[in-house]
Amino acid sequence: MAKINVTIWNEFRHEKEHEGIRKIYPEGIHGAIAKGIAADDLNIRLASLDEPEHGLTDEVINSTDVMIWWGHCAHSEVRDDIVAKVHKRVLEGMGLIVLHSGHFSKIFRAVTGTSCSLKWREAGEKERLWNIAPFHPITQGIGEYFELEHEEMYGERFDIPQDGQLIFVSWFEGGNVFRSGVTFERGYGKVFYFQPGHESYPNFYNENVLKVIGNAVRWARPVFFREMSAPCYPALEEIRSVDPNAIKAGVMQNADGSNK
Protein backbone atom coordinates (compact mmCIF):
# COMPACT_ATOMS: atom_id res chain seq x y z
CA MET A 1 0.00 0.00 0.00
CA ALA A 2 1.26 3.49 -0.85
CA LYS A 3 2.46 5.72 1.94
CA ILE A 4 0.12 8.33 3.41
CA ASN A 5 1.24 11.84 2.52
CA VAL A 6 0.92 13.91 5.70
CA THR A 7 1.38 17.67 5.91
CA ILE A 8 1.77 19.05 9.45
CA TRP A 9 0.91 22.76 9.50
CA ASN A 10 1.94 24.86 12.47
CA GLU A 11 1.60 28.57 13.06
CA PHE A 12 5.17 28.41 14.43
CA ARG A 13 5.14 31.77 16.19
CA HIS A 14 5.27 30.96 19.91
CA GLU A 15 8.40 28.86 19.49
CA LYS A 16 10.18 31.79 17.83
CA GLU A 17 9.00 34.52 20.18
CA HIS A 18 9.12 32.87 23.63
CA GLU A 19 12.27 31.27 24.98
CA GLY A 20 10.37 29.05 27.41
CA ILE A 21 8.26 27.58 24.64
CA ARG A 22 11.29 27.21 22.37
CA LYS A 23 12.93 25.09 25.10
CA ILE A 24 9.91 22.78 25.12
CA TYR A 25 9.65 22.59 21.31
CA PRO A 26 13.06 23.55 19.88
CA GLU A 27 12.07 22.24 16.44
CA GLY A 28 8.56 23.60 16.66
CA ILE A 29 5.34 21.87 17.61
CA HIS A 30 5.10 20.52 14.07
CA GLY A 31 8.61 19.06 14.38
CA ALA A 32 7.72 17.33 17.65
CA ILE A 33 4.57 15.83 16.17
CA ALA A 34 6.46 14.70 13.06
CA LYS A 35 9.05 12.86 15.13
CA GLY A 36 6.42 11.44 17.47
CA ILE A 37 4.23 9.89 14.78
CA ALA A 38 6.98 8.96 12.30
CA ALA A 39 6.43 5.49 10.80
CA ASP A 40 7.24 3.56 7.64
CA ASP A 41 3.76 4.08 6.21
CA LEU A 42 3.85 7.88 6.55
CA ASN A 43 5.50 10.43 4.28
CA ILE A 44 5.61 13.58 6.44
CA ARG A 45 6.37 17.16 5.48
CA LEU A 46 6.12 20.38 7.48
CA ALA A 47 4.59 23.76 6.66
CA SER A 48 4.18 26.97 8.65
CA LEU A 49 2.55 30.39 8.55
CA ASP A 50 5.53 32.56 7.60
CA GLU A 51 6.58 30.52 4.59
CA PRO A 52 5.51 31.71 1.12
CA GLU A 53 1.83 30.82 0.74
CA HIS A 54 2.03 29.56 4.35
CA GLY A 55 3.85 26.52 2.98
CA LEU A 56 0.57 25.42 1.40
CA THR A 57 1.17 25.79 -2.30
CA ASP A 58 -1.22 24.18 -4.75
CA GLU A 59 1.30 21.39 -5.21
CA VAL A 60 1.47 20.72 -1.46
CA ILE A 61 -2.30 20.83 -0.93
CA ASN A 62 -3.06 18.66 -3.94
CA SER A 63 -0.55 16.00 -2.93
CA THR A 64 -1.61 15.82 0.74
CA ASP A 65 -3.68 12.88 1.97
CA VAL A 66 -4.04 14.09 5.57
CA MET A 67 -3.33 17.56 6.96
CA ILE A 68 -2.66 18.23 10.66
CA TRP A 69 -3.33 21.83 11.79
CA TRP A 70 -2.12 23.73 14.86
CA GLY A 71 -2.68 27.46 15.26
CA HIS A 72 -3.29 29.94 18.04
CA CYS A 73 -2.39 33.63 18.01
CA ALA A 74 -2.42 34.39 14.29
CA HIS A 75 -5.56 32.78 12.88
CA SER A 76 -6.47 36.06 11.17
CA GLU A 77 -3.19 36.11 9.24
CA VAL A 78 -3.98 32.92 7.33
CA ARG A 79 -5.01 33.92 3.82
CA ASP A 80 -8.64 33.30 2.97
CA ASP A 81 -7.81 32.02 -0.51
CA ILE A 82 -5.52 29.35 0.93
CA VAL A 83 -8.14 28.33 3.48
CA ALA A 84 -10.62 27.99 0.61
CA LYS A 85 -8.23 25.68 -1.23
CA VAL A 86 -7.69 23.51 1.85
CA HIS A 87 -11.45 23.41 2.48
CA LYS A 88 -12.08 22.35 -1.11
CA ARG A 89 -9.49 19.59 -0.79
CA VAL A 90 -11.18 18.31 2.38
CA LEU A 91 -14.51 18.14 0.57
CA GLU A 92 -12.78 16.19 -2.20
CA GLY A 93 -11.41 13.61 0.24
CA MET A 94 -8.40 14.93 2.17
CA GLY A 95 -8.34 14.14 5.89
CA LEU A 96 -8.04 17.05 8.35
CA ILE A 97 -6.87 16.78 11.97
CA VAL A 98 -7.26 19.98 14.00
CA LEU A 99 -5.40 20.26 17.29
CA HIS A 100 -6.03 22.29 20.44
CA SER A 101 -6.39 26.03 19.73
CA GLY A 102 -6.89 25.21 16.08
CA HIS A 103 -10.57 25.11 17.09
CA PHE A 104 -10.64 28.84 16.24
CA SER A 105 -8.77 28.43 12.96
CA LYS A 106 -10.42 29.59 9.77
CA ILE A 107 -10.29 26.09 8.33
CA PHE A 108 -12.03 24.42 11.29
CA ARG A 109 -14.75 27.06 11.40
CA ALA A 110 -15.17 26.63 7.65
CA VAL A 111 -15.66 22.86 7.82
CA THR A 112 -17.96 23.05 10.86
CA GLY A 113 -19.92 26.17 9.93
CA THR A 114 -20.08 27.22 13.60
CA SER A 115 -18.27 29.70 15.86
CA CYS A 116 -16.32 26.92 17.67
CA SER A 117 -16.35 29.07 20.81
CA LEU A 118 -15.61 27.56 24.22
CA LYS A 119 -14.52 28.35 27.77
CA TRP A 120 -10.82 28.29 28.66
CA ARG A 121 -8.51 28.67 31.64
CA GLU A 122 -4.71 28.52 31.69
CA ALA A 123 -3.92 27.19 35.15
CA GLY A 124 -1.82 24.14 34.25
CA GLU A 125 -4.32 21.73 35.78
CA LYS A 126 -4.62 17.98 35.39
CA GLU A 127 -6.75 16.66 32.56
CA ARG A 128 -8.30 13.20 32.36
CA LEU A 129 -9.40 12.10 28.91
CA TRP A 130 -12.05 9.38 28.88
CA ASN A 131 -12.14 7.02 25.93
CA ILE A 132 -15.86 6.61 25.30
CA ALA A 133 -15.52 4.89 21.90
CA PRO A 134 -13.10 2.00 22.46
CA PHE A 135 -14.27 0.44 19.18
CA HIS A 136 -13.19 3.43 17.09
CA PRO A 137 -9.98 3.22 14.99
CA ILE A 138 -8.67 6.45 16.55
CA THR A 139 -8.84 5.06 20.10
CA GLN A 140 -7.04 1.77 19.44
CA GLY A 141 -4.16 1.24 21.90
CA ILE A 142 -5.65 3.75 24.33
CA GLY A 143 -6.98 2.51 27.63
CA GLU A 144 -10.20 3.45 29.38
CA TYR A 145 -8.67 6.87 30.05
CA PHE A 146 -5.35 8.65 30.19
CA GLU A 147 -4.18 11.70 32.09
CA LEU A 148 -2.09 14.76 31.31
CA GLU A 149 -0.36 16.31 34.32
CA HIS A 150 -0.75 19.87 33.05
CA GLU A 151 -2.95 21.26 30.28
CA GLU A 152 -4.94 24.36 29.40
CA MET A 153 -8.57 23.90 30.33
CA TYR A 154 -11.13 23.93 27.54
CA GLY A 155 -14.70 23.75 28.78
CA GLU A 156 -18.25 23.49 27.56
CA ARG A 157 -20.21 24.85 25.88
CA PHE A 158 -18.18 24.03 22.75
CA ASP A 159 -20.07 25.40 19.74
CA ILE A 160 -19.63 22.61 17.19
CA PRO A 161 -22.18 20.81 14.98
CA GLN A 162 -24.31 18.10 16.51
CA ASP A 163 -23.47 15.58 13.78
CA GLY A 164 -19.99 14.97 15.20
CA GLN A 165 -19.16 11.56 16.65
CA LEU A 166 -17.82 11.95 20.18
CA ILE A 167 -14.90 9.66 21.07
CA PHE A 168 -13.13 11.45 23.96
CA VAL A 169 -14.62 13.41 26.87
CA SER A 170 -12.31 15.29 29.25
CA TRP A 171 -12.53 16.23 32.90
CA PHE A 172 -10.31 18.99 34.29
CA GLU A 173 -9.11 19.35 37.85
CA GLY A 174 -10.96 22.67 38.17
CA GLY A 175 -14.27 20.90 37.53
CA ASN A 176 -14.97 21.57 33.85
CA VAL A 177 -15.73 18.94 31.21
CA PHE A 178 -15.15 19.11 27.46
CA ARG A 179 -15.81 17.17 24.26
CA SER A 180 -12.11 16.71 23.58
CA GLY A 181 -12.19 14.28 20.66
CA VAL A 182 -14.83 14.59 17.93
CA THR A 183 -14.97 13.31 14.35
CA PHE A 184 -16.92 14.71 11.41
CA GLU A 185 -17.50 13.80 7.79
CA ARG A 186 -17.45 16.68 5.32
CA GLY A 187 -17.97 15.95 1.64
CA TYR A 188 -15.70 12.99 0.94
CA GLY A 189 -13.24 13.97 3.71
CA LYS A 190 -12.89 12.98 7.35
CA VAL A 191 -12.21 15.57 10.07
CA PHE A 192 -10.99 15.00 13.64
CA TYR A 193 -10.70 17.61 16.38
CA PHE A 194 -8.44 16.72 19.32
CA GLN A 195 -8.09 19.10 22.26
CA PRO A 196 -4.69 18.49 23.99
CA GLY A 197 -1.68 20.50 22.89
CA HIS A 198 -1.22 23.87 24.59
CA GLU A 199 2.16 25.29 23.61
CA SER A 200 3.33 25.78 27.23
CA TYR A 201 3.22 22.07 28.08
CA PRO A 202 5.14 19.17 26.55
CA ASN A 203 2.05 17.13 25.71
CA PHE A 204 3.07 16.52 22.11
CA TYR A 205 5.68 14.16 23.55
CA ASN A 206 3.04 12.18 25.46
CA GLU A 207 2.75 8.66 24.07
CA ASN A 208 -1.05 8.58 24.29
CA VAL A 209 -1.47 11.93 22.55
CA LEU A 210 0.88 10.84 19.77
CA LYS A 211 -0.87 7.47 19.52
CA VAL A 212 -4.21 9.19 19.01
CA ILE A 213 -2.81 11.53 16.36
CA GLY A 214 -1.13 8.66 14.52
CA ASN A 215 -4.32 6.60 14.63
CA ALA A 216 -6.28 9.61 13.38
CA VAL A 217 -3.98 10.02 10.39
CA ARG A 218 -4.64 6.44 9.31
CA TRP A 219 -8.39 6.76 9.98
CA ALA A 220 -8.60 9.99 7.95
CA ARG A 221 -6.69 8.61 4.98
CA PRO A 222 -8.83 9.21 1.89
CA VAL A 223 -10.50 6.31 0.17
CA PHE A 224 -10.46 8.38 -3.02
CA PHE A 225 -10.35 11.97 -4.21
CA ARG A 226 -13.30 13.23 -6.18
CA GLU A 227 -14.31 16.76 -7.13
CA MET A 228 -17.57 17.88 -5.56
CA SER A 229 -20.11 18.77 -8.22
CA ALA A 230 -23.84 18.98 -8.89
CA PRO A 231 -24.32 17.46 -12.36
CA CYS A 232 -27.57 17.27 -14.26
CA TYR A 233 -28.08 13.52 -14.06
CA PRO A 234 -29.65 11.44 -16.87
CA ALA A 235 -32.60 9.17 -16.13
CA LEU A 236 -31.81 5.48 -15.74
CA GLU A 237 -35.34 4.44 -16.68
CA GLU A 238 -37.89 5.76 -19.17
CA ILE A 239 -39.84 8.71 -17.77
CA ARG A 240 -43.48 8.55 -18.91
CA SER A 241 -45.00 11.30 -16.76
CA VAL A 242 -43.11 14.33 -18.09
CA ASP A 243 -45.14 17.54 -18.28
CA PRO A 244 -44.20 19.11 -21.65
CA ASN A 245 -45.55 22.48 -20.48
CA ALA A 246 -43.59 22.61 -17.23
CA ILE A 247 -41.38 25.65 -16.73
CA LYS A 248 -37.81 24.68 -15.82
CA ALA A 249 -36.48 26.85 -13.01
CA GLY A 250 -33.01 25.32 -12.97
CA VAL A 251 -29.88 26.15 -14.99
CA MET A 252 -30.71 26.43 -18.71
CA GLN A 253 -28.87 24.05 -21.00
CA ASN A 254 -27.77 23.97 -24.59
CA ALA A 255 -28.90 21.16 -26.91
CA ASP A 256 -25.67 19.25 -26.20
CA GLY A 257 -26.39 19.24 -22.46
CA SER A 258 -23.87 21.94 -21.53
CA ASN A 259 -24.95 24.86 -19.36
CA LYS A 260 -25.83 28.18 -21.04
Per residue in 204-214, pLDDT tens?
999 999 999 99
Q: Considering only the top CATH level, what class is 4-220?
A: alpha beta
| Residue-range domain boundaries for the chain | 4-220
72: pLDDT confidence band, cut at 50, 70 and 90? very high
Quick: pLDDT tens for 82-92: 999 999 999 99
CB of 30 within 8 A of CB of 48? yes
pTM for the model: 0.92
With 0-12 / 13-18 / 19 or more C-beta atoms within 10 angstroms meaning exposed / middle / buried, residue 157 is exposed
